[in-house]
Amino acid sequence: MSLRTAIILSAFLGLSWVQSGCGDYQKVLKSTDPELKWTRAQEYFADQRCMQSLPLLQELIGLFRGTERMEDVYFMYAEAHLCVQDWYMGRYSMRNFAKTFPNSERTEGAEFQAALCSYRLSPGPELDQSETRVAMDELQLFLDRYPTTEMRDSCNRMIARLRGKLETKAWNSARLYFTTGKYQSASKALQHFMDDWPGSEYGEEAQFLVLKSQFLYAEQSTLRRQAERYADAIESYFTFAARFPDSPLLKEAEQFHRRSRTGLDKASQEAQ
């Protein structure tokens, strides 16, 4: 058999298998036998063919409502959404499972999976962080409900990562005022950032940019306002030097301090 013939035969057999499989699946979908649908739904799910199991499970929820099997069906339905990485529906269905079956041994896992979906829906720090806050709230609520959970360390690590996103988002927003030359707004925004995130890894740079922003803002100011704004820059230098005495930015900060002193003296003299 030639290579070309072998390829054609393999493709034909593969197509035949797909068509046969599709035909079998259509028969299951059209079947009026709930037991057959449940058996096949479990088989599809076990084979990671979750997209095929979902329509069957959704139908079975209605067929088995009020029966003992309903819990198994609904939990697999929720798991199937996780399998296809539909985090919105996964979150919704896991939440709903926990509400519907509050006494189930699966409820703790369902609530954790719902919170995990929210964690996965949290976007990068450059985007809106509403989902990040939702995820933090849900993970914390899960820890409050299950204080002895085995997932405590995982939850705390996820909360820390989410807080890191919020911190980075706040830092980027504050720094943007400086990079766009809005120095008055920059000094205020950067100070607010440090107040909100006192232990931030960006704290050193933020404090330095407060000093630099105030100096540049003073330089742009009218003579009448320069003295007080250079004085603000001088005060910010002392704050920076006290907080970060070993900073590699200290030499540059000292230059702004000297120039602010010179500017203050000149502005004071000219104002007389």
Are the C-beta atoms of 233 and 215 separated by less than 8 Å? yes
Residues 6+ apart with CB under 8 A from 89: 81
Name the residue type at position 177. Answer: Y
Cα dist. 157→118, 160, 161, 226, 234 in Å? 14, 5, 6, 47, 40
| CA 148 to mean position of chain CA atoms | 25
Q: What pLDDT sits at residue 267?
A: 87
pLDDT digits (tens, 9 = 90+) for 84-123: 999 999 999 999 999 999 999 999 999 999 999 999 999 9
pLDDT digits (tens, 9 = 90+) for 144-170: 999 999 999 999 999 999 999 999 999
pLDDT digits (tens, 9 = 90+) for 119-150: 999 999 999 999 999 999 999 999 999 999 99
All structural domains of the chain, each given as residue ranges with its CATH number in brackets, are 181-272 (1.20.58)
Q: Which two tokens stand for residue 199?
A: 């232990």
Are the C-beta atoms of 106 and 75 separated by less than 8 Å? yes
Q: pLDDT band for position 8 (50/70/90)?
A: very low
> Cβ–Cβ contacts within 10 Å for residue 238, how many?
12
Note the residue count of the chain: 272
